[in-house]
Amino acid sequence: MTGRPGYPPEPMRWEGQADGRLLIIEQTLLPAEEREIELSSVQDVADAIYRLAVRGAPAIGITAAYGLVLAARAIAGNQTPDETVSALERDAAFLARTRPTAVNLTWALRRMARLFEPPAGPVEMQQRLLDEALSIHEEDRQACLAMARWAAPFLREGGSYLTHCNAGSLATGGIGTALGVFHLAAREGKAITVYVDETRPLLQGARLTSWELQRSGIEVKLICDSAAATFLTRGPVQAVFVGADRIAGNGDAANKLGTLSVALAARHAGIPFYVVAPSSTFDLTLADGGEIPIEERPPEEVTDGFGRRTAPEGIGICNPAFDVTPADLITALITERGVIEAPTTERIRTVLA
């Protein structure tokens, strides 16, 4: 199944006004089935984020913002303004605990929380929060397009590139971070090939990135995670583009587990390694990547992937969701505000100031 070249599907959308509904693509079903589901409550939103029905740092931030609109709707009309604020603060804290590594989640919730202050009746509060959530969504759309344009000079006609996990439209509010430049190339009729790591254990590359890029009319070559170093050191890949879930003040970047291995292989091969992420993904309160919290996922994702046991009973399992790539392995950070080559604390602050 293919779509319009360069125009991938949106993972979430708000339909209607403040009394409308929140719809997401149920990503756990892809690529076998493309289905939208409705999220009707804060609990629905939290569950969807945790079980990766919606995932990707910008996308979960946007979805959580819409979740607070649903929270405001659920609050009884006879509550006082102060009681309303307290209830919304509890719901925001609940949503923030779903995925600890991706800073866009807490960034979006903090931005929404600035609007909690009374006086505001229930209807006014819902509209106020919806307007802000829609703004966050639209800003991400524009940021994705800006990042793609900044990254475009690093692509060439007929080139081959590698990516890890999914940092495309399915992970954002627009055409994506790392994948955005590929979608933009498709819009412009530029022929490229993208090598996609399968991304164990949940196969976001195989299930999601391959599906998304194919829908966009881009040539895709799926490879095992363990094959990435071979394709980097022996050709034909010319550059790596990945996203990030949190970037520390010095440029160290947390992304899906396995990204560090790709960065090390790229450095050995002398191949550029680009991290594409919006300014909302930067956490300048952290001096370096050692301070980034790393989410530990359930062991069953490793031992019982997609319903089939693939490991013996009774063994220990380590399943961190992310690793951290040091800044000195990153050729450039590409943001909606510009390109930060050979990132350092000073260069990051100069661009993001």
List the CATH number of the domain containing 83.
Answer: 1.20.120.420
pTM of the full structure: 0.94
> Are residues 203 and 270 located together in one domain of the fold?
yes
pLDDT of residue 78 exceeding 50: yes
How much is the pLDDT for 307? 87
Residue 263 CA to residue 272 CA, distance in Å, equals 9
pLDDT the model gives residue 121: 75
Average pLDDT, the chain: 95
Question: Could you tell me where the beta strands, DSSP code E, fall in the chain?
Answer: 12-15, 21-25, 36-39, 160-163, 193-197, 219-223, 239-242, 246-248, 253-256, 273-276, 282-283, 322-325, 332-335, 338-341
Residue 220, strand partner residues: 194
Taking the C-alpha atoms of residue 188 and residue 183, their distance in angstroms, rounded to an integer, is 9
Would the pLDDT of 157 be above 50? yes
Confidence of residue 79 (pLDDT cuts 50, 70, 90): confident
The last residue of a domain, from among 86, 114, 144: 144
Say if strands 21-25 and 36-39 run parallel, antiparallel, or are unpaired: antiparallel
Number of domains into which the chain is organized: 2
Q: Are 67 and 99 in contact (CB under 8 A)?
A: no
- Proportion of the chain above pLDDT 90, given as a percent: 90
Domain end (from 144, 165, 197): 144
What mean pLDDT comes out for the span 28-52? 97
- Residue 97, pLDDT > 50, answer yes
Nearest to 183 by CA among 154, 158, 149, 159: 149
Question: What are the tens digits of pLDDT across the range 119-128?
Answer: 667 788 899 9
CB-hemisphere CA count at 13 Å for 348?
A: 27
Phi, psi of 311 (to 5 degrees): -145, 155
Asked whether residue 4 is assigned to any structural domain, the reply reads: no
pLDDT of residue 119: 65
Query: What 3-state DSSP class applies to 221?
Result: strand
The stretch 251-272 carries a mean pLDDT of: 98
If 0-12 CB within 10 Å is exposed, 13-18 middle and 19+ buried, where does residue 309 land?
Answer: exposed
* DSSP state at residue 207: I
Strand order in the sheet with 282-283: 282-283, 246-248, 253-256, 322-325
Q: Which residues are catalytic?
A: 245
Distance CA(184)–CA(148), nearest Å, equals 7
Q: How high is the pLDDT of residue 22? A: 98
Asked if 108 and 22 sit in the same domain, the reply is yes
pLDDT, residue 241, reads 98
Q: For position 1, what pLDDT does the model report?
A: 44
Kindly state whether residues 105 and 162 are assigned to the same domain.
no
Mean pLDDT, residues 167-195: 97
Tell me, what CATH number does 196's domain have?
A: 3.40.50.10470
Measure the N-to-C terminal CA separation of the chain; round to a whole number of Å. Answer: 43
Tell me the mean pLDDT in the region 255-281. 98
Q: Is the pLDDT at 10 greater than 80, yes or no? A: yes
Per-residue pLDDT, averaged over 133-158, amounts to 98
Q: Determine what percent of the chain is predicted with pLDDT higher than 70.
A: 98
CA atoms lying within 13 Å on the CB side of residue 222: 17
When pLDDT is averaged across residues 314-331 and rounded to a whole number, the result is: 98
Structural domain containing residue 256: 151-352
